[in-house]
Amino acid sequence: MKFLGINAIFHDPAAALVVDGRIVAAAEEERFSRRKHGKRPLAFSAWELPELAAAWCLREAGLSPEDIDAVAYSYDPSLVVQKPEGDWEDLRTKYAVRAPAFLATALPGLDPGQVSYVPHHVAHAASAGLAAPWRDCAVLVADGRGENVSHLAGRYRGGELEVLAAQKLPHSLGLMYEDVTEHLGFLRSSDEYKVMAMASYGRPRHLEALREVIYTTGDGGFRVEPVDWSVYAKALKKGAPWTSDHADLAASVQARLEEVLLELVRWLHERTGERRLALAGGVALNCVANTRLLDEGPFDEIWVQPAAGDSGTALGGALHLAQSYGEPAGPMPDAALGRGFTDEELGAWLDVARVPHTRPADLAAAVAAELAADRIVAWFQGRAEYGPRALGQRSLLAHPGHARNTERLNDVKGREQFRPIAPMVLESRAREIFGRGPVPSPYMLFVHDVHPDWAARIPAVVHVDGTARIQTISPREQPLMARVLSEFEARTGLPVVVNTSLNTAGRPMVDDPRDALECFGSSPVDVLVLGPYVVRRGEVFAS
């Protein structure tokens, strides 16, 4: 059977396809539309659907809309507590009620009667619990909001979800973090990771005060009382310089978030006795909190859905429907579920663009040589990543041994200088260099302590707090990137390469060859590797 999953109601619209028990494709709409996050999370944008992503998922599988057996829409308007007519939330609900008709219009031939509503947090839970590498586990979802709750705690047994707790709105850890994000001059529902990065520069001196207004209730839930953030730090306008007061507020909120999550997972462990925990929801993208949960929490293993935010509910909805129809799918093979291109297609793009290029006999050695020479490499390989992290498919690569490369890459991307860049390392070498976090760590969803004797050798990837958000590379799963790492070490003695997303500030990650060429042409990147082809800036502009 064929199941299409759709996320559209808030932000990060996405589509995913499950066919005959196999996850075939998943992608965010932003990769096609080139609008960051696909759309803003406003009630009057709720009608917008991931039309391009859904159409691509079908093409990838050679299907038409008529072939789909069922569609999961990851929001159930019947669960919404109705508000007075004219309220923006009422408009969002009306759009959700009409979603089947909207989908039939966007995908001609689709029967609107095939559309099923999957509760938002159930879809989140399925994206983790049914996609995880194990069949039985505890599951925790935390984000901004769903229909009427902001959190779900439960467990999966034999593919069936048992919900043990759910926190009613307006109490929300995700919305609380969004409020702080906006107060600090960043874009809410978008820039929360900047608050996490800023927190490392501050002291949690407001932690006691926040414990009074953000606290657990002992029954698997929590409370977030109204907070006047201006008591702790003056509100910042976008782009305004921040001070230690702002960093201290970020550090305090981050610390309290971690404490509350720890209390929630301890309660969940007591109720389930499970050894393994799967996490989803936007809060699960907080890699600092994830590491603390693993380090201090009761679970032996934690798996985080790489598309943990709302985009992941497209996959979760499809998995939930497949399970309910008796065709369980999963586990998730990896995050490379988006668009890919053949060598011939990539070469044709370069020919049409009249861009000089070469095809090295040993691509890994050629790229390692460029990196060893301290050149920045735009790396475009295989199928695009599903989720917000660059995982070796659409990446910017650089030498980690030069501290200036942190500032250099932030300049290339046009982003704040306090933000860290990440290391990529062979899985077999990770424990020599990085501690505390889990290994393997293929999705960049945990932070690791950098061993002191290595910190001075790879300063570009060490954050101010001595940590790094690593990605481990398995030669079995990513053989070409593994060879680049080995060749780079042979030249430099460093088994680590900088990996950050291939995009510039405010733009979605590069997805197709045109995006890659545009990014290369408009930013100070030295080398573009497009599949087997190498494009060098000097050769392009000399011609």
What are the C-alpha distances in Å from 486 to residues 94, 299, 392?
Answer: 55, 34, 15
Angle 120-178-418 from CA coordinates, rounded to 5°: 125
Structure tokens at 143: 């984000």
Closest alpha carbon to 119 in 27, 9, 271? 9
Could you give the CA distance from residue 334 to residue 385 in angstroms, rounded to a whole number? 9
Which DSSP letter does residue 112 get?
G
**327: alpha, beta or left, given left = phi > 0 and alpha = psi -120 to 50?**
beta
Is 120 within 8 Å of 127 (Cβ atoms)? no
Instruction: Give yes or no for a cis peptide into 65 (omega within 30° of 0).
Output: no
Could you give the CA distance from residue 421 to residue 81 in angstroms, rounded to a whole number? 42
Distance of CA 43 to the CA centre of its chain: 23
Could you give the CA distance from residue 502 to residue 513 in angstroms, rounded to a whole number? 12
Find the helix or strand (DSSP H, E) in which 435 lies.
strand 434-435
Find the helix or strand (DSSP H, E) in which 164 lies.
strand 160-168
Structure tokens at 83: 């508000």
Could you give the CA distance from residue 157 to residue 138 in angstroms, rounded to a whole number? 9
Could you give the CA distance from residue 397 to residue 498 in angstroms, rounded to a whole number? 5
Give the helix ranges, DSSP H, for 26-153.
Answer: 30-33, 51-60, 88-97, 99-106, 120-129
Closest alpha carbon to 501 in 417, 365, 380? 380
Structure tokens at 458: 């790879």
Could you give the CA distance from residue 73 to residue 313 in angstroms, rounded to a whole number? 9
Which DSSP letter does residue 370 get?
H
Which residues make beta-bridge pairs with 141? 152, 280
Beta-strand relationship, 214-216 and 222-224: antiparallel
Could you give the CA distance from residue 354 to residue 376 in angstroms, rounded to a whole number? 22
Active-site residue flag, 206: no
Could you give the CA distance from residue 85 to residue 464 in angstroms, rounded to a whole number? 50
Q: What is the phi/psi pair of residue 157, to 5°?
A: -130, 115
Could you give the CA distance from residue 164 to residue 159 in angstroms, rounded to a whole number? 16
Enumerate the active-site residues: 11
